[in-house]
Chains A and B, each alone.
Chain A
Amino acid sequence: MTESTYRIQGGTGEWEVVIGLEVHAQVTSQSKLFSGAATAFGAEPNSQVSLIDAAMPGMLPVPNAECIRQAVRTGMAINAPINRWSRFDRKNYFYADLPQGYQISQLYHPLVGEGSIEIEPEGAEPKTIGIERIHVEQDAGKLMHDQHPTRSYVDLNRSGVALMEIVSKPDMRSPAEAGAYVKKLRSILRYVGSCDGNMEQGSMRADVNVSVRKPGDPFGTRTETKNVNSIRFVMATIEIEARRQVDLIEDGGTVVQETRLFDPDGNGGKGVTRSMRSKEDAHDYRYFPDPDLLPLELDEAFLEEARASLPELPDAKRKRYEGDLGLTAYNADVLTADVETARWFEAMLAEGAAPKPASNWVTSELFGALNRLGKDIGESPVSPKQAAELNKLVADGTLSGTLAKQVFEVMLETGDDPAKIVEERGLRQTSDTGAIEAEIAKVMDANPDKVAEYRGGKDKLFGFFVGQTMRAMAGKANPAVVNELLKKALDV
């Protein structure tokens, strides 16, 4: 609906970049797509390899129901039709990380049809990005090149792990849109629970298809940069590759449809894309239906279970937070961006915290603390239950905002419950008017000149008296009571 205004300035004028992404997302499962070998990350080389994954003679694939189910749920989450009849095809090519000599994938009849997701790129209008299809396929193994001068080493632990390939339409027009797309997709996958979205461990990586054109022209020739493994790198790949293509065309060259790879350290650390000669016959994969597997037919009960097990998704949750809980748009956005945050926040509500103050507390106090500690919300030293209790102590007047901050600091250090900290350290807020009045009198006695100035019209000094009184009360006085009593004493 809204046209991106991202443009590349070339010698011949402005260029538009056209981007499509093929995201490979590792399906969360205990065992591989076609074998009973484990999928855990970081195991000893070749320790999670079955005879099937090593493509021993006569070995056969049997599909893992959970991988199919997770791909189906993911399809439902992007509002795509689930094909009740799909099929596995073989994609044939030779490479050392591909023991069978083919990858079992889905070309002709993918499991999931067309869907879409909404993105909100930073500083731009929201946009709908089309998704062409989702299919299920095997991951390849891993090659290690730096352990021996003349040999590469092959580790098949990843070989056969289930992937969802999520293919977008060429709907993105700027690095920011592509970044927002991957971020949103990651968020949805994590909500659904079909992929942990861990890009550092390779659970999610993107093949980035980039072409350039003069605005309004037909699509140009695209290149595919493989296996880009962070959002930042996806955006960098687009910038660098689009620039390369513009320069190439303007110098009289033509873009070749080819596979490239992104080297973040190239070009003096600015990053560069390079042609991948290792994938020579990439264009003749000789796909055909895998004769070891029958067509995959899903019944209504299977689909129904998948649908029923879907959680509330980020867009719906954000709307509910704003509408039903009355949170600010900013808080609703921040709290729903990642499923763990939303879960944490909702756990806090379930423990009785009031939504609005809790949302402010999480987005400011908790996030601030976690940031300082360099921890994820999942590693928070304070539990949602403890956080709810802390918030309740503020709500019922036991703690002032200042005291609450102090208690929270102690909680972070000790992991103790707030009530215990309040009790042991005597951090309870006091509304004892007698005690406060006595301290006010002392403050006024000690500062007769300030009292005179104030009474002479220097209203700003009120803050000074509040501060002095609070300090004299060791911060435990109820600020509202202090204000009220100070007014009474000063405004005679």
Chain B
Amino acid sequence: MTDLTNLGIADIRDGVAAGTFSAREVASAFNAAVAKGKPLNAWLVETPDHALAAADAADAARASGDLKPLSGVPLGIKDLFCTKGVETTAASGILKGFVPQYESTITSKLFGAGAGMLGKLNMDQFAMGSSNETSAFGNVISPWKRNDGGNAALAPGGSSGGSSAAVSARMAPGVTGTDTGGSIRQPAAFTGISGIKPTYGRCSRWGVVAFASSLDQAGPMAKDVRDCAIMLEAMSGFDPKDATSLDLPVPAWEKRLSGDLKGKRVGIPREYRVDNMPAEIEALWEQGIAWAKDAGAEIVEVSLPHTKYALPTYYIIAPAEASSNLARYDGVRYGLRDLPDGANLQEMYAATRADGFGAEVKRRIMIGTYVLSAGFYDAYFTKAQKVRSLIVRDFEQAFEKCDVLLTPTAPSAAFGLGEKAADPIAMYLNDVFTVPSSLAGLPAMSVPGGLDGQGLPLGLQIIGRPLDEQGVLNAGLAIEERAGFTARPGAWW
């Protein structure tokens, strides 16, 4: 039975429909994998019963002939999604013990489509981080190891690091992630899986613990492009409860998947050739360009002149929004309360927040508070929103010359846990290729391209026009078909 965990979403869906195996067998296999995967620390809460109940419903649905799009598929849910009756902490001490009385729109949609939940996935605290090291509940350990014979624990990427680890370690066929500046794509790249962040507004933010509202987008992470398309279809759609939700029909992305790029122009942004980029990443990028050509695409060089300013822009806007979004964690209505003897209300707030938030969260709240404070708002925040307009314009102009952009996903392969923890800016630079498209709200995905010399996965990123998830998925599929990436980490845990 264990090999059921090698299956992806499409395989499971089709296998359950065909009666090759039962949904209960699938759920049980993944539940067992989750239980066995504890050394990876990818899960904060395990919900085997939820997965089994959904599986039984799927098996019954098969018998009665009304299977849903995700019937029989058990999923991992990033702990940023509020799940009714299941503790949701965003990996922060300040939300320890918080049990939502509501279900996020995304998880309701997934469960409504027949999926079950294996558990809640560890992550960087409040989605702030690129290595999963900011979780209040311990690091997630990547299932991948370098081939140097050493045993260094590697970062699974972040902030959706529990998510990436769960898929690559075959503990879940698919998972939800969220991406504010690269938090789906970078961990996908680090762990050799696929992940897509859709256009801002495709996936409802209702019930997703907010980090930076103008950037946050949910998306799927899975073994391959098809699985991402299947999951994204179930997750997307208009939600009247989210004022920024796009009131548009959900395209049939899976059905229209095609790796044929004839007539498509693939843009190569010259500013993404950054200093000190490892040669192996350069080489993979060249390889990706060759694969795109092979798939029939025309390659065009394009310019995104403000690329260099995307990260500093992001590190003004995201902390500013976060400083306000996280003001609600005050120890009054839910979560942690730290009330020192004799403390007044304001002292209670300060103690609770000092206690409950991790160092990186505090750092970003401080930055955000500072850039919005009296006298600095225009110099920082307004300036950043203007540069953001220029970044959006860069993309618009580039998309006059091409249909999708192809870039590396991250400037390095997975690094070792602790290697970058001391230098926040070095950590921030990990998102150099993913942040610009986040600022512009564009659909973007990472697909695995190959392994580096140390045997670690490297990802290629495809960025599309607003609403052109199909173009992104198709280009991703073209690369996937040619890359033939099948490497999986050995189960050392």
Contacts and interface: CB of A to CB of B under 8 A. Distances in A.
- A and B in contact, CB less than 8 Å: yes
A51 B324 contact: no
A197 interface: no
Contacts of B346: 94, 280
B392 to A, nearest CB: 15
Contacts of A62: 240-243
B224 interface: no
Nearest to B381: A288
Place the interface of chain B in its size category: 35 or more
Contact of A55 (B101, B212, B328, B373): B328
A287 B345 CA distance: 23
Contact of A58 (B206, B243, B373): B206
B205 A60 contact: yes
Contacts of B209: 57-58
Contact of A294 (B100, B210, B212, B243): B243
A55 B243 contact: no
Interface in A260-302: 280, 283-284, 286-288, 291-294
A99 B333 contact: yes
A152 B328 CA distance: 18
Interface string B341-355: 000011001000000
A288 B377 contact: yes
B243 A99 contact: no
Interface string B306-331: 00000000000000110110111010
A286 B377 CA distance: 8
A154 B102 contact: no
A99 B332 CA distance: 8
B272 interface: no
Place the interface of chain A in its size category: 20 to 34
Interface string B227-271: 000000000000011111000000000000000000000000000
A94 B210 contact: no
B71 interface: no
Interface string B191-227: 0000000000000011111101110000000000000
A286 B373 CA distance: 5
A291 B322 CA distance: 10
Among A154, A287, A288, the one with the most B-chain Cβ atoms within 10 Å of its Cβ is A288
B243 A96 contact: no
Among A60, A61, A152, A293, the one with the most B-chain Cβ atoms within 10 Å of its Cβ is A60
A63 interface: yes
A101 B206 contact: no
A57 B88 contact: yes
A102 interface: yes
A101 B100 contact: no
7 contacts: A51-B101, A56-B334, A62-B240, A94-B330, A95-B345, A101-B326, A286-B324
Q: Which 8 A-B pairs have the closest CB atoms?
A: A101-B327, A291-B213, A286-B372, A291-B214, A55-B328, A58-B207, A57-B209, A284-B374
Given A55-B333, A92-B324, 5 more contacts: A62-B242, A63-B243, A95-B345, A291-B213, A292-B244
Interface of B: 81-82, 88, 90, 95, 98, 100-102, 104, 205-210, 212-214, 240-244, 320-321, 323-324, 326-328, 330, 332-334, 345-346, 349, 369, 372-374, 377, 381
